[in-house]
Amino acid sequence: MDNILEELQPIFRDILDQPNLVLTRASNANNVDDWDSLAHINLVVSIEKHYKIKFALGELQELKDVGDMIDLIKVKLAAK
Amino acid sequence: MMEYRWSDLYIGLRHEFDATFSEEQAAAFAMLSGDVNPLHVDKAYAIEAGFPCPVLFGMLTSSLYSRLVGVYLPGKFALLQGIRIDFSSPCYVGDHLHVVGEIEFLSEAYRRLEIKATIRKDDGKLVSKALIKAGFHGN
């Protein structure tokens, strides 16, 4: 569970087509190129599939950056 | 045209239809796309290359995936968001093509559905398969 950032990196690299992207907890749609609305949907769906979890729209609207996403993933995984 | 709403959808929901392309449609696609590769537009060249006649454009036959999403699954309120296509075998003017699509994944948060789809000839031979991502527009 501590490796979520490392696990997210290849997902983001693939979907955003940025093979050298270095993801941090502070990464967000404002500081990562091409992270637009459709890419965001693709990221969320890929994360749901990877971890076999489901997000609610309200949960996603609260997220400010990748760190928040990681924390939400941890909550979801702990609840499985 | 189907008018499915999000709440109507479920994994396993399936639609299918048949289609055939004419010489005129293939010529129109060549004009619209600008793809004038001789394998698609020159009969003598296609025969010399080992095919019985010009090969239909893969992207023309794949336009049936657009029809699948926009007319049937989910239909009127669809918004095509992505598609991955693998081509398996060539097809030709006049071939009867059978298109099947089935929902295999639903993501509630952004109302994204994923459809696994195939196009096959009458004899069952696979022409192409696709993984289609679609959402909804409107309310």
Residue in A37, A43, A45, A72 to test binding to B, most B beta-carbons within 10 Å: A45
Q: Is the dihedral of CA A35, A38, A44, A45 positive or negative?
A: negative
Q: Which of A41, A56, A60 has its CB closest to that of B112?
A: A41
Average pLDDT over residues B82-106: 97
Q: What is the pLDDT of residue A80?
A: 84
What whole-number distance in Å separates Cα of residue A28 and Cα of residue A5?
Answer: 13
pTM for the model stands at 0.91
Residue ranges of the domains in chain A?
4-78
CATH of the domain at B108: 3.10.129.10
CATH architecture of A4-78: Orthogonal Bundle (1.10)
The count of structural domains within chain B is: 1
- Structure-block tokens of residue B47: 């025969």
| Residue B134 with chain A: CB contacts under 8 Å | none
ipTM exceeds 0.90: no
Asked whether residue B88 carries a pLDDT value surpassing 90, the answer given is yes
Taking the CA of residue A45 and the nearest CA in chain B, the distance in Å comes to: 7
Task: Tell me which residue range forms the domain holding B82.
Answer: 6-136
Residue B95 lies in a domain: yes
Residue B1 lies in a domain: no
* CB pairs < 8 Å spanning A and B: 33
